[in-house]
Amino acid sequence: RALDYLVGFNISPILWAKLPGSKSAGRVQSVALKLITERECEIELFKPEEYWSLTSDFINVNNKIIFSKLSLFNSHKIEKFSFRNKNEIKEALDLINKTKFKIKDINSKVHKRNPLAPFTTSTLQQTASSKFGFGASRTMQIAQKLYQGVEINGETTGLITYMRTDGTHISKDAIIEFRDLITKDFGKEYLPEKPNTYEGKKAKNAQEAHEAIRPTEIKIKPVDIKKYINSEQLKLYELIWTRALSSQMNSAEFNRNCIVISSENEKISFRANGSTIKFDGFLKVYEVQESGEDEKNILPKCSIGDDVNILKLNDEQHYTDPLPRYSEASLVKKMEELGIGRPSTYANIISVLSSRDYVELINKRFNPTDRGKLISAFLEKLFTKYVDYNFTADLENQLDEISSGKVEWIKVLENFWKDF
């Protein structure tokens, strides 16, 4: 706290004098602002590039449609920029339309999808943001209430463990209860032989003394407490409950199918991918947002050597996009990766940037205001070292060393203060 005061109380008056209307600078908030303004610069300088993609609807001997993507053309593997303009794609279309195709290969693999680790502070903030649109501060307020407890049958009951944590481990006692519930409610086939363990993300300043965020009593199901809590609390409790329980369940299994459709000379080929769930595993409890259409694409029965005909070819024009502006979830994720700030401070940093009018949220994305850009440029020019990502992360490491008793706090402050 002293370190943050030294930075804030000394840089802020310079800002008031040089950039009237500026409220403050801070050790971590200025670095978060720099992330947002740098991304804005990248977006402004970005030049989109054109590229085209090609897919085909084939029809097989049983009149079933096979949706597939071009994977090989003129013996070259198709990359993102294989077709850069209308002319190149038109030449490909003309050639493909004159070509006869057969089913060259069919293969099927079993693919496993492992459950996700139970929540830490930052993964909870990110998931609540993408699933429910809750901001980091909102998520923490709701979690705080669940942690402090709600009144159930005249007794205050804490529903979740401490919500400021980097740890992904669950206590042995809780795991025993989880495993009992899984066996009883879902059956033996959902229970792994031994408990699943998760490596904590090695954030540079991980505070792993606390266990992951989990329900204090797994037998208190979301449906049991519906009438004691409000709808936002229920959403968050259910998210924490399902994620924690599913982390101790078996992996889901998919049958991944692939059909390769090839020209006679094998210089052109298309691939159709699809998958079906073989065993739902942890997905029985916790829904994962599916990536791509493969998960939903069920392929028709075919045999190798069957002729297939082109029903229609679809060419589509695309342009590359710049990196998106940060959302609350992606900003938290980035700060955690860089080792800047702590789980307990993310929500606060974000609200300070908004309340001081340095950034505004437009479509749930952070846009720096003109004032925000000006301050960031000013700090970058005059206090380069102090808004440097590595410098800030390194200071966090020193703070960790103070808390574990390896260094004297006065020494750290003194080293910082002399140059500053």
Active site residues: 162
Residues 6+ apart with CB under 8 A from 207: 164, 165, 166, 167, 342, 343
Q: Partners of 317 in the beta sheet?
A: 52
Structure-token pair, residue 243: 């994620």
Structure-token pair, residue 325: 């502006």
**d(C-alpha 15, C-alpha 21), whole Å:** 9
Distance of CA 383 to the CA centre of its chain: 32
First to last CA, the chain: 16
By the 8 A CB rule, do 19 and 378 touch? Answer: yes
Q: For residue 417, which amino acid is it?
A: W
Would you tell me how many other CB atoms lie within 10 Å of the CB of residue 296?
A: 10
**d(C-alpha 91, C-alpha 88), whole Å:** 5
By the 8 A CB rule, do 175 and 248 touch? Answer: yes
DSSP state of 188: G
Structure-token pair, residue 26: 């801070």
Would you tell me how many other CB atoms lie within 10 Å of the CB of residue 273?
A: 18
Would you tell me how many other CB atoms lie within 10 Å of the CB of residue 269?
A: 20
